[in-house]
């Protein structure tokens, strides 16, 4: 058990050290991902989750959500590595790929937060919903 704790501590430390020097947009992404997870749990606790058959809380759905968010961070890490490769070759600071990737995921997570809030019964300002849909759509067009 002690070896597992040491391994997990080292892995967690490596992940944290990667994100400590990250651009602020990555911190925004992590915050929005956390808000999405929290609103998803609230939605399930109220029996209104679209992720489960009965609308309630599900440890399986929660774990799947965490795994998806972990893979999002892997994709962002890939984008950061691409930026680093370009920047180190040119000798400049470069975060374009990371920024675009984070913006797309921020929009996607933001839409999910709005969907969760709407399921809970919170009225959503049209301007916010439209802004996120436009941002998500514009970024989706750029990915194709």
**What pLDDT, in 10s, does the model give residues 126-139?**
898 788 778 767 65
Q: Which of 26, 5, 35, 22 is nearest to 101 (CA)?
A: 26
Average model confidence (pLDDT) across the chain: 85
Confidence of residue 18 (pLDDT cuts 50, 70, 90): low
Residue 39 confidence (pLDDT) above 90 = yes
Identify which has the larger pLDDT, 96 or 143: 96
Is-contact 93 83, C-beta < 8 A? no
Handedness of CA 30, 36, 42, 44 (dihedral sign): negative
Across residues 3-29, what is the average pLDDT?
Answer: 78
pLDDT digits (tens, 9 = 90+) for 40-92: 999 999 988 878 888 888 888 889 999 999 999 999 999 989 988 888 877 77
Separation CA 119–CA 61 (nearest Å): 17
Separation CA 144–CA 135 (nearest Å): 15
């Amino acid at each position: 058990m002690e070896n597992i704790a040491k391994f997990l501590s080292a892995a967690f430390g490596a992940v944290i050290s990667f994100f400590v020097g990250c651009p602020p947009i990555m911190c925004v992404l992590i915050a929005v991902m956390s808000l999405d997870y929290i609103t998803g749990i609230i939605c399930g606790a109220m029996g209104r989750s679209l992720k489960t058959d009965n609308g309630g809380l599900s440890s399986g759905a929660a774990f799947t959500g965490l795994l998806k968010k972990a893979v999002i961070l892997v994709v962002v890490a890939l984008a950061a590595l691409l930026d680093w490769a370009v920047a180190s070759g040119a000798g400049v600071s470069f975060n374009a790929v990371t920024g675009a990737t984070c913006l797309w995921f921020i929009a996607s997570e933001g839409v999910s937060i709005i969907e969760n809030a709407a399921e809970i019964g919170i009225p959503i300002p049209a301007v916010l919903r439209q802004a996120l849909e436009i941002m998500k759509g514009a970024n989706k067009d750029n990915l194709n």
